[in-house]
Amino acid sequence: MKTPLDAKRIEAILHSLRGGRVVVVGDVMLDVFVFGEVTRISPEAPVPVVRVTEETERLGGAANVALNVKSLGGRAALVGVVGGDLARDHLAKVARARGVEARLVALAGRATTVKTRIMAHQHQMVRTDREATEPIDAAVEAKLLAQVGKVLTRGSALIVSDYQKGVVTRSFMRSLIALARRRGARVLVDPKVRNIGLFRGAFLVTPNQKEAEEISGMAIHTDADAERAVHRIARIAGTEGALVTRGEEGMSLGLKVSGKFSYWHVRATAREVFDVTGAGDTAIATLALALVAGALPHEAMMLSNLAAGVAVGKLGTSSVTPAEIRAAQ
């Protein structure tokens, strides 16, 4: 089913985004971008020497999802785990500066996840990761759940942002989804393949095409392929539906409506793809906030598709504003 979303309806949804509450739980990261120029090769080894001209710190992972909620006009609360290190302080500082309410549980002896990208002439030269991926224990799960309980209100949405850094465990997801159900909040999950069975009872999972093909065991070439895949993914995940982001092919949504699956597809907006980093964060943030604002699921998908189209035109992890979505129509 292909239903157009006209400019008037887009404007109505964008206007309704303001003030919507979305809670983001998951793997929090600090993204560091080191920009520079390459003018010579090192005499020590056959590698380029990057002369640094600028360095910036940005919210990454679940934190970037929360930032996108905020930049779209919503109220974003971020819940996750950080280490007992300087990166934790830097991450908290950036979150405060961007207006994201961060409720972070600090663990001594654990490293805050930091991804550092060395960029030269608008290309990524190398990336370094500092991280801990050990699953959180029951005591930490309880602390995180308590923080979520303080900010998850009726009518809000809960996003689980899974980057396989230890926050997504079976017991924590069971407790988290149960809490969301009691609060009447929809749960949307950006999953990793190996964890797909941990989100039973959520509203939607939003894998990209590669992940969707791995989960479903199917190649996706056509809309019909996508429909079969999203139906299978929803059954495997135990959710009401699934949304697959398909790159230049757009997005495909399958959702159980009155006991029967319905499907919608939207093509990607035509623009140059500059950097796909963080585009999935933008997509799920827009999707969740639009649903909170009262958009129908297929309308939320179409708005999400516009927002993702804006995000891939930017360098690195980034957020999208309503004005940019308006301009992208």
Domains of the chain: which residue ranges?
Answer: 7-30+59-114+133-328
- The pLDDT, as a whole number, for residue 4 is 64
Backbone phi and psi for residue 310, each to the nearest 5 degrees, phi listed first: -70, -45
Name the nearest CA neighbour of 205 among 259, 150, 168. 168
Q: Which of 162, 190, 225, 281 is catalytic?
A: 281
The whole-model pTM stands at 0.93
Task: Specify the higher pLDDT residue, 268 or 106.
Answer: 106
- The pLDDT, as a whole number, for residue 1 is 47
What average pLDDT does range 226-240 have in this prediction?
Answer: 97
**Is 162 marked active-site?**
no
- Cβ pair 127, 114 in contact under 8 A: no
Burial class (CB in 10 A: 0-12, 13-18, 19+), 80: buried
Whether residue 270 is predicted with pLDDT greater than 70 in this model: the reply is no
Name the nearest CA neighbour of 220 among 189, 188, 244, 254. 244
- Cβ pair 253, 298 in contact under 8 A: yes
Q: Is 255 helix (H, G, I), strand (E, B) or coil?
A: strand
Quote the CA–CA distance of 32 and 319 in Å, as a whole number.
15
CATH of domain 7-30+59-114+133-328: 3.40.1190.20
CB atoms within 10 A of CB 46: 7
**pLDDT class for 54, splitting at 50, 70, 90?**
very high
Tokens 């010579």 sit on residue: 40
- The pLDDT, as a whole number, for residue 258 is 84
- Own/partner long-range contacts of 189-192 (Cβ < 8 Å, ≥24 apart): 189/159, 189/160, 189/162, 189/237, 189/239, 190/26, 190/65, 190/159, 190/160, 190/161, 190/162, 190/280, 190/281, 190/284, 191/160, 191/162, 191/237, 192/162, 192/163, 192/164, 192/168
Whether residue 117 is predicted with pLDDT greater than 70 in this model: the reply is yes
- Tokens (6 digits) for 54: 């600028």
The DSSP element (H or E) to which 21 belongs, if any, is: strand 21-26
What average pLDDT does range 252-279 have in this prediction?
Answer: 80
